[in-house]
Amino acid sequence: MQRDNIAMQRVYLDHNATTPAAPEVVAAMLPFLSEEYGNASSIHSFGQRARTAVERARESVAALVGARAGEIVFTSGGTEADNLAIFGLVPLGLGVPGGVRRHVITTQIEHHAVLNACQFLEREGVDVTYVPVSSAGVVDPQDVRRAIRPETVLITVMHANNEIGTVQPIEEIAKIAAEADIYLHCDAVQSAGKLPLDVARLGVDLLTVSGHKIRAPKGVGALFVSKGTRLRPIFYGGHHERDRRPGTENVAGIVALGVAAQLARENLEADASRMASLRDRLESQLLTRISEAHVNGEGAPRTPNTSNIMFRHIEGESLVISLDLKGVACSTGAACSSGAVEPSHVLTAIGLAPEDARSSLRFSLGHSTTAEEIEYAIGVVPGVVERLRELSPVYHKT
Amino acid sequence: MEPNHHPETVVVAMSGGVDSSVVAGMMHRQGAPIVGLTMQLWNHRRLPQLAGDGPVGHRCCSIDDVYDARRVAEHCGFPFYVVNFEKQFEDTVVRPFVAEYLAGRTPVPCTQCNNHVKFDQLLLTARQIGAERLATGHYARIQLNSCSGRYELLRARDASKDQSYFLFGLTQEQLARAVFPLGDLTKMEVRELAREMNLPVAEKPESQEICFVPSGDYTQFIEGYLAEQGSGQRAETGEVVTTSGEVIGRHEGLHHYTIGQRRGLGVAAGRPLYVLNINTVANRLVVGDDAELQSDTCEVDRVNWIAIARLEQPMQVMAKIRHKHEAAAATIERAGESAVRVRFHQPQRALTPGQAAVFYDGERIIGGGWIR
């Protein structure tokens, strides 16, 4: 158990939490941490080289999502991009004296970057509707339509869920938003690199991408802001990013995101189909070998890399630790909520009882996941689940 | 030993303090496969008004302490995890703690935590992750008595550090799985070991307060907790009376007081007065002089026997009625299914309902229970 002395296999199945940076990405960014140290806003040649690299990366990110380069704003990551979209569009309180109370529509299964931003809006006098999802984890666009009010200023719905991978009907929601002339923001952090992304086809006005989920390092992300969208900055400073996000550009991180976006676009089809077949094999084998196991989000369209399985009567926390000690890294849900007492809001929203939510585990595959690794996990998980069930006070009671 | 003998994994409960860090360091050095677990028990952000003057830290489950435990694990190179038992802790320790004070009793939360969290939920988690035994930094000793076949709990060698009083509730099953490597060491030796192993916590000061009451002000905690819970229950002021029924002042709510307390009664009587009785029915605080505080008998219920299976006939023991009490000679006899009557050979000061009475025979704990 000493994280075995006998060179234990380590299998990383938590790519929805973060991904290893691709070697090409690291190679491309490194010069910008050493000799290419210019400030992209400087006039001289040092600055010009940095500027060129930033703008090339902008084109690459734009290409990943089907946007124009000028519509991409670099941020420190997905959370900042989500916050910029929300606070950049929604005036707090009544806006102007005598103004109306604004209204925002989101869903019950958003990432905390959106949910907690919306909760802050509520404390500041903005109404928020949290649209429910089906037991498969999908929003009904008609629920969104019904939630619309004259004072609705923003709809924000994630593309793919981080915990269960379910894909939301963004195109249909976009039509509804367009008819009502309401801005639509989409958190695409978990779909980038896994599903085709095209802002025109999706019909969104704003879209969030995070670097470290697509093999760039942590600390960089981007927000697509469609041309003509009047977005207020949430920071104040210099005139960077067309006055939408001040602060000296994180050149190395932005370069990395550019290369990662290019890789994601080039590898999308191959990665998606390879991950889907490995994921399906993992899922079917675990369901065959383990009784009382259910896939959360089953029946809904899902990202090809994510499998969230409920193993009834076990404690997810103990399962994650046990599996890690045997070399398999996975999680009980969002990395930000690991260690939290409350059961996952996503699993609760799809109707799971708290104890079933706590007995659910997320496996998320990535570009680097191999068939051998999946076989290793298939070999390890059933024994560990069985051991936990033998010791579970709940299991014996039933 | 079989040639292929694979040593069993042991989980070490790590608080981030010196004692449990030394346990982990010692066992790791001896080559035992260990996994360190730190329990997240209480969210100190919940009642921020109670944080006290100092930084929110240096308590058993502050972020700093988790960080310290993790540093020790990294230093030694064994796996380490944080497990979240906040709900279990609130249900079995915090809520009963508040309820006991409101009922006029003085609880012992550390014992509740040992019984219901550390040697229950944490031990279960340890077993779930593949360890059959749980080591902690408690100063106490366990031995298997080959005659009786029972696991016995003994005082620590270092009398000044002995924590056996807080462990009287452990069952045979729990004792069989518990490991107390510090039972034979003095605090000085433990510090010395920490320095010798270069543990990053070697010079860390000890914490004394109840871990979830960072300010040490438990009355403020109770009031804050009740307010947070939206409980209509509020501590009301009431009369302070003498044993003869004379009203001599007003109290600030009965949870402010414990039996034997002298300070903070807010009455000037010209002689030292002590809390004798907390009457929650009449919402009265009964006070009197030191002589009235003495008594030679009490009843103890929810008794747990350790060295013996049950009490057949009266037995001579040394009984300890609070952590800092010097055990006193007493006779214990059955007074019901799991209750015992304790007759002290000399009157004892401030027998306090809610505290534990623990019975010793020399070094060994016979058993213990809760003073009624």
pLDDT tens, residue by residue, A70-113: 999 999 999 999 999 999 999 886 656 667 789 999 999 999 99
Assess contact for A110 and A187: CB atoms under 8 A: yes
Do B292 and B276 contact (CB within 8 A), yes or no? Answer: yes
Interface membership of A4 toward B (CB under 8 Å) = no
Give the tokens for residue B236. 């009301």
User: How many angstroms separate the Cα of A369 from the Cα of each of A257, A282, A363, A373, B193?
Assistant: 21, 12, 11, 7, 44
Domain co-membership, A386 together with A280: yes
Residue A191 has pLDDT above 60, yes or no: yes
A272: in domain: yes
- Greater confidence (A92 vs A296) lies with A296
Q: What is the pLDDT of residue B2?
A: 40
Q: Residue B220, exposed/middle/buried by CB under 10 A (0-12, 13-18, 19+)? A: middle
The verdict on a CB contact (< 8 Å) between A341 and B84 is yes
In total, the C-beta contacts within 8 angstroms joining chain A to chain B are 50
Choose the final residue of a domain: B237, B264, B288: B288
pTM higher than 0.80? yes
Question: What is the structure's pLDDT at A338?
Answer: 47
On whether any CB of chain B is under 8 Å from the CB of A1, the answer is yes
Whether B125 maps to a domain, the answer reads: yes
B190 and B52, same structural domain?
yes
**Closest-CA distance of chain B to residue A163, Å:** 20
Amino acid in the structure at residue A223: L
Residue A339: list chain B partners with CB under 8 A. 40, 82, 84
Residue B153 lies in a domain: no
Structure confidence at residue A397 (pLDDT): 46
B235 vs A12: which has the higher pLDDT:
A12
Cβ–Cβ of B128/A318 closer than 8 Å? yes
In a domain, A211, yes or no: yes
- pLDDT of amino acid A337: 47
Residues B268 and B348 occupy one common structural domain: no
Judge if B43 and B185 occupy the same domain.
Answer: yes
Domain that holds residue A115: 23-263
- Answer whether B131 sits within 8 Å of A322, measured CB to CB: no
ipTM of the modeled complex:
0.86
pLDDT at B45: 74
Distance of CA B327 to the CA centre of its chain: 17
Residue B85 lies in a domain: yes
Average pLDDT (A236-256) is: 95
- Residue A208 reports pLDDT greater than 70: yes
- In B31-182 the beta strands, taken as DSSP E runs, fall at 34-40, 80-84, 133-135, 140-144, 151-155, 178-179
Q: Which of A5, A6, A336, A341 should we substitute to test contact with B (largest number of B Cβ atoms within 10 Å)?
A: A341
Domain stop point among B237, B259, B288: B288
> What is the distance between the alpha carbons of residues B10 and A394, in angstroms, rounded to a whole number?
24
Same domain, A367 and A256: no
- The pLDDT assigned to A145 comes to 98
Q: Any CB–CB contact under 8 A between A23 and chain B? A: no
Spatial strand order of the sheet with A152-156 comes to A72-75, A221-225, A206-210, A183-187, A152-156, A103-107, A127-131
Q: Are residues B277 and B304 in the same domain?
A: no
Whether pLDDT at A396 is above 70: no
User: Is A143 domain-assigned?
Assistant: yes
Asked whether residue A6 is assigned to any structural domain, the reply reads no
Q: CB distance A317–B125 less than 8 Å?
A: yes
Q: What pLDDT sits at residue B58? A: 43
Residue-wise pLDDT for A37-76, tens only, equals: 999 999 999 999 999 999 999 999 999 999 999 999 999 9
- Interchain pair A340, B84: CB under 8 A: yes
CATH code (residue A393): 3.90.1150.10
Low pLDDT (below 50) residues in chain B = 1-5, 53-60
A339·B82 Cβ contact <8 A: yes
The answer as to whether B172 is a domain residue is no
A17: how many CB neighbours lie within 10 A of its CB? 20
pLDDT, residue A385, reads 96
User: What are the chain A neighbours of B82 within 8 Å (beta carbons)?
Assistant: 339
What total number of domains does chain A contain? Answer: 2
Q: Minimal CA–CA distance to B351: which of B273, B306, B292?
A: B292
Q: Check CB contact under 8 Å for B128 and A322.
A: yes
User: Does residue B169 lie within any of the structural domains?
Assistant: no
Specify the CATH number for the domain of residue B357.
2.40.30.10
| A38 and A142 share one domain | yes
Which is catalytic among the residues A118, A186, A330, A336? A336
Shared domain check, A103 and A58 = yes
CB A129 within 8 A of CB A105: yes
Q: What is the average pLDDT across A274-292? A: 98
Residue B58 belongs to what H/E stretch? none
On whether residue B352 sits in a domain, the answer given is yes
Contacts of A317 in chain B (CB under 8 A): 83-84, 125
- Among B152, B86, B97, smallest CA distance to B121 is for B86
Residues 296-355 of A with CB under 8 A from B: 315, 317-318, 321-322, 324-325, 339-341
The catalytic site residues of B sit at 113, 211
The Cα of B9 is separated from the nearest Cα of chain A by a number of Å equal to: 7
Chain A CB contacts of B125 below 8 Å? 315, 317-318, 321
Report the distance separating Cα A146 and Cα A155, nearest Å: 12
Q: Do A324 and B86 touch (CB under 8 A)?
A: no
Last residue of one domain, picked from the residues B288, B309, B340 = B288
Report residue A97 as tokens: 């004296």
Q: Which amino acid would we find at residue A321?
A: I
Chain A residues with beta carbon closer than 8 angstroms to that of B40:
339
Alpha carbon distances (Å) from A391 to A60, A267, A353, A354, B53: 52, 44, 21, 19, 43
SS3 A329: strand
Selection from A316, A315, A308, A323 nearest residue A364 by Cα: A308
**A375: pLDDT strictly greater than 50:** yes
- Asked whether residue A52 falls in the same domain as residue A182, the answer is yes
Domain residues for the domain of B105 are 10-137+181-196
In chain A, residues with a C-beta closer than 8 Å to the C-beta of B34 are: 2
Whether residues B84 and A317 touch (CB distance < 8 A) is answered with yes
CATH of the domain at A96: 3.40.640.10
3-state secondary structure of A336: helix
Q: Work out the minimum CA distance from B284 to partner chain A, whole angstroms.
A: 39
Higher-confidence position of B46 and A290: A290
| Nearest neighbour of B129 by CB, restricted to A3, A325, A339 | A325
Total number of domains constituting chain B: 3
Q: What is the pLDDT at residue A343?
A: 87
Q: What is the mean pLDDT of residues A227-251?
A: 94
Chain B residue closest in CA terms to A317:
B83
Residues of A in contact with B130 (CB under 8 A): 1, 322, 325, 387
| Residues of chain A found within 8 Å of residue B131, distances taken between Cβ atoms | 1
C-beta separation of B17 from B69 below 8 A: no
Dist. CA B106–CA B353, nearest whole Å: 6
With beta carbons less than 8 A apart as the criterion, state whether A261 and A211 touch. no
Residue A4 counted as domain residue? no
Residues B71 and B102 in one domain: yes
Candidate from A3, A341, A391 with C-beta closest to B127: A391
Q: Does A2 touch chain B (CB under 8 A)?
A: yes
Known catalytic membership, residue A118: no
In a domain, B224, yes or no: no
User: Cα–Cα distance between A57 and A256 in angstroms, integer?
Assistant: 8
Please tell me the predicted confidence (pLDDT) of residue A9: 87
